[in-house]
Amino acid sequence: MNVTRPTIMEIDLNAFEHNVNEIQKYIGNDIKIMAIIKANAYGTQINTLLDIVNKFDIVGVAFVDEGVLLRELGYKKEIFVLNQPYENEIENIAKYNLTVGISSSNFVDSLGKNINNFNVHIEIGTGMGRTGINPYKVKEYIEKVKEYSNIKVDGIYTHLSSADIDKEYTEKQLYSFEIAVKEAKEILGNLKYIHAGASNGILYFKESHYNLVRPGIILYGYKSAIDTYDYINIKPVAKLKSKITLLKTVKENTSIGYGRSFVTNRETKVATIPIGYADGFRRSNSNKGYVLINGKKASVIGNVCMDSIMVDVTDIEEIKLWDDVYIWDNENITVEEIAEINETINHEILSTISYRVPRRFI
């Protein structure tokens, strides 16, 4: 399809490669990177570029369907499904040769009774409070897995919940994980993969690196914590941009948008921009968000519509139709600023930019 829409997400692949190199430099060459490309590679759709993902020996996805998509694209190396799948996905796990995280006895039984062979990583619940087995029940769980000759344990892993804000709690998690790792090794011998560190674990706890790390948000050049850029030299890969498609001047006391939530208090020049909440520009930006036009910030006025927003450009000189509009440019407006306005985190802002916004790779 020939894309004509002026609203696009622009993805800098050189910045992505730079980030991979900086992460590898930070962890050392003896440790592998599992590139986390779930949620359409945090909204960037880099996961659809086979020449990019082929540079990794192992990648991480959230769900079986994400792994299937990658296999159908042509990726032949290891795909790890971070979240324990559902029983009705076992057929696709086998068909598409996916490695899965497990922490349920029932799911082990379902795998074991299947005619296919499976590779798994055992997830240890050290304090995330989500999934994972009790670290003090590793022996019992592994013995259950060993009942089935078609299940091979390739790895063991955990999730650190608070590596950026709670050193003591994270150290307790790593202590529990280390107990589990030692017990697993006693039973299984050396494991192919041992992993605990996602973005914040990588930066703050080198002891979490083991022989594999799982960078997520930092792979795309965005902050995993307030001081991320003090630790590692990474570059944001994505810019979200559009264009002015309508300009008009309205009188004082003119209402703008649904619900008349904004009424002008002066003669106002209004620009309409074709991006809305169906694109991922959240409705909570209404009357408090802003965009960048000709190097200046322009306030969102009125409620964000499904397909468009209106902004006040009265004070921007030489404004004209089709001028570029940056929702974020990573310098004058950052994803983190937008996240703060919307009382959320940068992960959510990036990953919820919808499919109908074309991605342009540069």
Q: Which residues are catalytic?
A: 38, 258
Closest by Cα among 85, 130, 121 to 195 = 121
Paired with 100 in beta bridges are 81, 120
Element (H, E) at 64: helix 64-73
Identify whether the C-beta of residue 101 lies closer than 8 Å to the C-beta of residue 81: yes
User: Helices in 199-274 by DSSP H: which ranges?
Assistant: 199-204, 228-231
Strand pairing of 296-299 and 151-157? Answer: unpaired
Helix (H) or strand (E) holding 291: strand 290-293
Residue 79 Rama label (left phi>0; alpha psi -120 to 50; beta): beta
Distance of alpha carbon 207 from the chain centroid: 23
**Which amino acid is located at 52 in the chain?**
I
Axis-axis angle for helices 138-145, 105-112 (nearest 10): 20
Place of tokens 């944001």: 236
What is the total residue count of the chain? 362
Residue located via tokens 């999934």: 131
Residue 295 token pair: 């190097």
Specify whether the CB–CB gap between 272 and 308 falls below 8 A.
yes
For residue 223, give the nearest of 214, 212, 236 by alpha carbon.
236
Nearby residues of 348 by Cβ (< 8 Å), 6 or more positions away? 339
Residue 194 contacts residue 14 (beta carbons within 8 Å): no
Rounded distance, CA 241 to CA 86, Å?
A: 38
